[in-house]
Amino acid sequence: MKIGISELDEVLGEIEEGNILLLETIGTLGEEVILEMLKENKENAVAFVTKKMRDRFKEIPELTKLKLIVLGEEVFPAELYAISFKLRNLFEGAHVGFFLLHPLLVFHPPTTVYKFFSEIALIVQEKKVVLTAIIDKRLVDERILAMFENLATYVIDIVEVVEGFKIRRGIRVKKSPKGGTGFYKFEIRNGELVIGEPIE
């Protein structure tokens, strides 16, 4: 599988079935990485989303027909087993965008969500699914974040630093079988993530 962002695809290579890509960020910054993956692989793609995210999908022409599993309608935060059941019943080889870690971390203790994600990791391997998930780093401490990273084959790290009136944003590959990278500047342009020069 390719993400659809050439700079990341060059570093990550082909993402094999049965693996997790974890996007560590602040809030929803950089969720375009997952959106590009879903666009690139839309024939086999499924997304677990919030109601707000579902509304955003309706505005993206390439994703209007995507199969969506919506938190608060088909699954609920208190019923983690129902979310894993939905994932277990997906077709083999699906490409999954998982946008639910943020609301689940608000609803449950981080250790509970980690145990749930551990189960998800086993299902991903069993069903030969590629799962791309986004996690807000502010909702977990470094130890718990490292535990999440340990379940992922690939980790992309996004940072945002405020310097006076300027905001600097950086993106890097933190973990992959081919190694990591330093930070690169990036911006969101017309709904797409554009990667620029290395950050010195």
Note the pLDDT tens digit of each residue in 150-182. 999 999 999 988 878 888 889 999 999 999 999
Give the pairing of strands 95-98 and 130-136. Answer: parallel
Query: Among candidates 157, 149, 80, which has minimal Cα distance to 119?
Result: 80
Q: How far is CA 76 from the centre of its chain?
A: 19
Burial of 182 (0-12, 13-18, 19+ CB in 10 A): exposed
CA 90-127-25 angle, to 5 degrees, is 80
On average, the pLDDT of the chain sits at 92
H or E segment and range at residue 126: helix 110-127
Answer with the residue of higher pLDDT: 71 or 161.
71
**Band of residue 64 on the pLDDT scale cut at 50, 70, 90:** confident
pTM over 0.75: yes
- C-alpha 7/C-alpha 98 separation (Å) is 22
The answer to whether residues 63 and 35 touch, using CB atoms and an 8 Å cutoff, is: yes
* Residue 25 CB coordination number (10 Å): 23
Q: Are 28 and 56 in contact (CB under 8 A)?
A: no
CATH fold of 6-159 reads Rossmann fold (3.40.50)
Cα 106 to Cα 124: distance, rounded to the nearest angstrom:
24
| Tens digits of residue pLDDT in 76-117 | 999 999 999 999 999 988 999 999 999 999 999 999 999 999
